[in-house]
Structure 1
Amino acid sequence: MAHTRTLVPRPVTKARSERPAGRPTRTTAAMAAALGVFAAARLLGVVVVVLTAWATGRHDRHPLGLLARSWDSLWYLGIAGRGYGRTLHFGPEVVQSDLAFFPLYPALVRVVAALTPLGAGASGLLVSWSAAGVAAAGIYAVGARLHGRAVGTALVLLWGLLPHSVVLSMAYTEPVLTAFAAWSLYAVLGGRWLWAGALAALAGLARPNGFAVAAAVLAAAGCEVWRNRRQIGGVTHRLWTGAALAPLGWVAYVLWVGRREGDLLGGYFEVQRRWGSTFDFGRGSAHFVRHVLLHGDRFVFPMTMVIVATAVVLYGLLLADRAPLPLLVHSGVLLLIVLGGSGFFESKPRFLLPAFPLLLPLARALVRTARARPWHAAVVTGALAGLSLAYGAYLVVIADTPL
C-alpha cells in the first residue's frame, strides 16, 4: 500500500472497498499475528512483574494484586463497587475526590463483576486486558491503512514495549481510552463520521484527556467542510452528526460534576485543582524539572523527563512525515496536556500512552531496518523489550511512586 501523505482523511470509495476474495483472510491473519506479538510482549511483562515481586520479597501481596490494586486502581474499583462519594482531606488545599475520575471504566468493571463470578480486582484486569487487545487491533488497523501491514505490526509492537506499557496490564483506564481513540481515528481516516463521533464520545467518558479524540474528529470534520464549502450538498449529515457526537461524553461528565459541586462550568476543574492538577502552561513542570536537575531525585523523575522529551521529538518527526491531520491533532493535544499540566509529574508518560501515532516514524524506520539489516532490528527490539520489562517491574514493585 502506498504511503498516505494527505493531511485530511479521505473517505473510502466504492472502488477501493472491492477486495479480492482472499484479501480479508490475509488481513485478518496479519492482524491476528500483530495481536499475538502484542499479547506475548504484555504476558512476558506480567511474568517479569511476578518474578520481581517474589525476588524482592513482596510476599505480603499477591503479584497480580499489584496489577489490580495499585494507586488509581483503588479509586476506580471503589467507584465500581460503591459509586461516587469518596473524599480524602490532606489539608485545606489538598482534597482528593473520586469525582476526578471519569465513569466509563468503573462502569465496565461493575458490569463484568455483576455478570461473572470474578471479584472487583479480577474484573478490572479483565476489562483492561480486553481493552488493550482491542486497542492493539485498532492501532494495527491505523498503521496498516497508512503504511502497510508490516508497519501496522511494528506499531503495535512498539506500543506494547513502551517504558510505561506495564500500565496496559494494570487496572487502569489507558487501555480503554486508547481502544476508543484508535478505532475512532481509523473511522475518521475512512470517512465513517458516525462511528468516529460515537467512539470519540465514549473516549471522552474514559479519561480527562479523552477530549483529544473529539478534537481530532472536529478538526477533521472542519477540514472536510472547508474543502467542500463550494459544493452544494458536499457535506453529508453523517459528518455533522459525528462532529456533534464527538465531544458529548467529555462535556456531559464535566457538566455533571459541575452541577453536583454547585458550579456548572467550573466545578470539575476545581476538583482537579484540589488534587493539585491544573493547566498552567508548563510553569509547574518547569519548576519541577529545575528541582530534578539541580538537586537530583529518585530514578522515576529523570526517566519521565527523557520520555517526555522523546515524545516532543517524535511529534516533530510526525509533523515532518506529514501524517494525517486527525493523528496530528490527537497526539498534539495529548502532548500539550502533558507539557502544560502541573501536578503528578511522574504520571506524564502514562498520559502519553494513548498517543500511539507518535510511534509511526519509529515503526516505519524499524520496518526499513528489518528489511535491510534484520539483525540490527532484532538488537534494537530486544534492547527496547529489556528496558520496558525491567522498568515496568520497577515501577510496579519497587518504586514507591504513583503511576
Structure 2
Amino acid sequence: MAAAGARMSRWPWWSQVAGVYILARLVSACIFMAAALHQGVNPWFPAKPDYWNFINIWDARWYAEALQTGYPALLPTDDAGTVRENTWAFYPLFPVLGRVVSGLTGTGPAWSLTAIALICGLGAALAAYRIFRRRATHRTALWGIVFLAAFPVAPVLQVPYAESLNLLLLGGALLLVMERRYLWAMPVVVLMCLSRPTGVPFAVMMGLLFLYRAWQRLAAQRPASQRVTAQPVTAQPSTAQPPRGGPVHSAAQLWSLAGLTAVSGIGALLWPAIAWAVTGDPGAYTKTETAWRGDELVPFKPWFDAGIMLFGPRLGVLAPFVFVAAFTLLMLSRPVVALGTELRLWCCCYMGYLLVFLHPQTSTFRMLLPLFPLALSAALLSRSRAYRGAVVVMFVLLQIVWIVWLWAWAPLPGGGDYPP
C-alpha cells in the first residue's frame, strides 16, 4: 500500500485527483449494486434492479422528463387549484446538456445524464483541488479531495442529478473570484444560476465581498495621520503588511467586482423570471418548489417546525438558535479561518440561504455539498494518518447508510418514502 502511494505521489496533480475521484466512485458503485440486490417492490421497476436502473430514480426521472418534454406552459393543479409537482422545480442546464449529448450520441436520457454527472463530478474535483491548493500544501489539498469524494452524500455525483454540474460551476466561479478574474467569472456564474438554486447566496456573497473590498481600499487611501494616532509619524520607511485577504483592490478590480455582483443578482432571478414568462404566473417557480413541502414558503419557519417535531415544543424552539451558534463557532475555528475571506464568506452565505428558505428534511444532507470548502478545513484539522483514515472510513460507512436508508425505496406506513 505504501509503495502504491509512493508511485501515485509522482503522478501529475490532475491524475492524482482523478485517481481519487474514480476510486471513490467505484466504491460508491459497489454500495449501490449491493443495495440494489435488496431493493424490493418500488414505483419504478421490478425488485432487484441492475445498477443503471437503480441510479435512475427519484429526481433523475424528473430531469429525464425535462429533457424529453421540456417545461409545461400551464402549471398543473389539483382540484383545489394548488400547483402540483412538475418540472419547473428542476433547473434547465442539466437536461439541456443531456438533450445535446443524446442527440450527438443517439443514447437515451438515462445514459447521457449519467455520463454528464460523472464527468462534471470529476471536473468539480479538479476545480476543488485548485481552490484548496491556494490555501494548503499539495498533500493536504489532496486529502481535502479525498474527504470530498468520500463524503456520505458524494454518491449523488454519479447519478443523473444536477449536483455535480452545479458543483463544477460553483467551484469554477469561486476559483475565478479568488484569483480576482471577475469578468471571466460572469458567464460561469450565469450558467451556475441555471444549474441549481445557488444563485441567491452567491449574489449575496458577491455583494458582501464588494463592500468588504471597497472598505479595504478606502481604509488604505486614508492619510497615515488618520490611520495611526497613537504614535507620531516618522520618516522611517513603511513596514506595514498587506491587508488580510491580499493586496488592496484597484479601482478597475472594484468595478469588475461590482459588475459580477450585478450579474450574480440577475442570474439568481433568471430561472424564476423564465418560469413567469412561459407560464404567465409570477410565482410559478416558488409555487412549484413548495409543492413538494405541501406548504407556503415562509422564511425561517420550517426550521422551527422541524425543531419542534424532533425535540418537542420547548427545546425545539431553541434548536435553530443552537444550530446557528454552533455553525458560527465552526466559522471562527482556526481550520475554517485558514480558508480565507472568499470561501468562508461563501459558506456563511450559503448556510444563511438554507436557514431562510430551506424546508429541512432528508434531502437536506444532499444540499450540503456546496459547502465543499469545509472538506479542506477537515483536512487541516490534523495531519494524523489515523485521523484522516478514520474520517474516510466513517464517510464510507455513512454512504452505506445514505444509500440504504434514503436512496433505496422502502415504503413508509403512511405511504411514500423519505427522498434522498
- TM-score normalized by the length of structure 1: 0.79
Which residue of 304, 318, 322 corresponds with 1:286? Answer: 304
Q: Distance in 1 between the 2:249 and 2:92 partners?
A: 41
Which residue of 357, 366, 371 corresponds with 1:350? Answer: 366
Look at both structures and tell me which one has the larger radius of gyration over its CA atoms: 2
1:45 aligned onto 2:28: yes
1:83 aligned onto 2:70: yes
Q: Distance in 2 between the 1:312 and 1:157 partners?
A: 28
1:333 aligned onto 2:349: yes
* C-alpha deviation, 1:259, in angstroms: 2.6
* C-alpha deviation, 1:397, in angstroms: 2.0
- Summarize deviations over 1:18-67 as a string: whole Å, max 9, x none: xxxxxxxx998123212211221122101111122124466453322221
| Greater shift in the superposed pair: 171-180 or 325-334 | 325-334
Q: Which residue in 1 is equivalent to 2:330?
A: 317
RMSD between aligned residues? 3.1
* C-alpha deviation, 1:245, in angstroms: 2.8
Q: Which residue in 2 is equivalent to 1:402?
A: 419
Unaligned regions of 5+ residues in structure 1, if any?
A: 1-25, 296-304
Q: Distance in 1 between the 2:307 and 2:120 partners?
A: 33
Q: Is the 8 A contact 1:72 1:172 kept in 2?
A: yes
Q: Distance in 2 between the 1:113 and 1:96 partners?
A: 25
Q: Is the 8 A contact 1:165 1:392 kept in 2?
A: no
Q: Distance in 2 between the 1:161 and 1:350 partners?
A: 13
Q: Is the 8 A contact 1:279 1:337 kept in 2?
A: no
Q: Is the 8 A contact 1:334 1:351 kept in 2?
A: no
Query: One-letter code of the match for 1:290?
Result: I
Q: Which residue in 1 is equivalent to 2:316?
A: none
* C-alpha deviation, 1:268, in angstroms: 2.8
Distance 1:249 1:42, change over 3 A: same
- Summarize deviations over 1:182-230 as a string: whole Å, max 9, x none: 1111111111111222212211111123332333334333333333345
Find the residue that maps to 2:408 and give its secondary structure: helix
Q: Distance in 1 between the 2:332 and 2:298 partners?
A: 25
> Which residues in structure 2 correspond to 1:208-219 (within 5 Å)?
208-219=197-208
> Which residues in structure 2 correspond to 1:31-110 (within 5 Å)?
31-56=14-39, 59=47, 61-68=49-56, 70-85=57-72, 89=77, 92=80, 93=82, 95-110=84-99
Q: Distance in 1 between the 2:214 and 2:10 partners?
A: 32
Find the residue that maps to 2:277 and give its secondary structure: helix
| Greater shift in the superposed pair: 376-385 or 117-126 | 376-385
Q: Is the 8 A contact 2:300 2:356 kept in 1?
A: yes
* C-alpha deviation, 1:390, in angstroms: 4.2
1:385 aligned onto 2:396: yes
Distance 1:145 1:290, change over 3 A: same
Q: Distance in 1 between the 2:360 and 2:387 partners?
A: 37
Q: Is the 8 A contact 1:177 1:210 kept in 2?
A: no
Q: Distance in 1 between the 2:353 and 2:298 partners?
A: 10
Q: Is the 8 A contact 2:91 2:196 kept in 1?
A: yes
- Summarize deviations over 1:264-305 as a string: whole Å, max 9, x none: 4x443333334437653432232233323469xxxxxxxxx9
* C-alpha deviation, 1:311, in angstroms: 9.7
* C-alpha deviation, 1:262, in angstroms: 3.0
Q: Is the 8 A contact 2:38 2:48 kept in 1?
A: no
Q: Distance in 2 between the 1:33 and 1:251 partners?
A: 38
> Which residues in structure 2 correspond to 1:6-45 (within 5 Å)?
29-45=12-28
Unaligned regions of 5+ residues in structure 2, if any?
A: 1-8, 41-45, 222-247, 314-318, 411-416
Q: Distance in 1 between the 2:256 and 2:360 partners?
A: 39
Query: One-letter code of the match for 2:269?
Result: V
Which residue of 243, 246, 264 corresponds with 1:246? Answer: 264
* Number of equivalent positions: 361
Query: One-letter code of the match for 2:397?
Result: G
1:184 aligned onto 2:152: no
- TM-score normalized by the length of structure 2: 0.76
Query: One-letter code of the match for 1:253?
Result: W
Identity over aligned pairs, percent? 22
Query: One-letter code of the match for 1:31?
Result: W
Q: Is the 8 A contact 1:99 1:271 kept in 2?
A: yes
Distance 1:119 1:379, change over 3 A: same
Query: One-letter code of the match for 1:316?
Result: L
Distance 1:226 1:398, change over 3 A: same
Q: Distance in 1 between the 2:309 and 2:366 partners?
A: 21
Query: One-letter code of the match for 2:18?
Result: L
Query: One-letter code of the match for 1:71?
Result: W
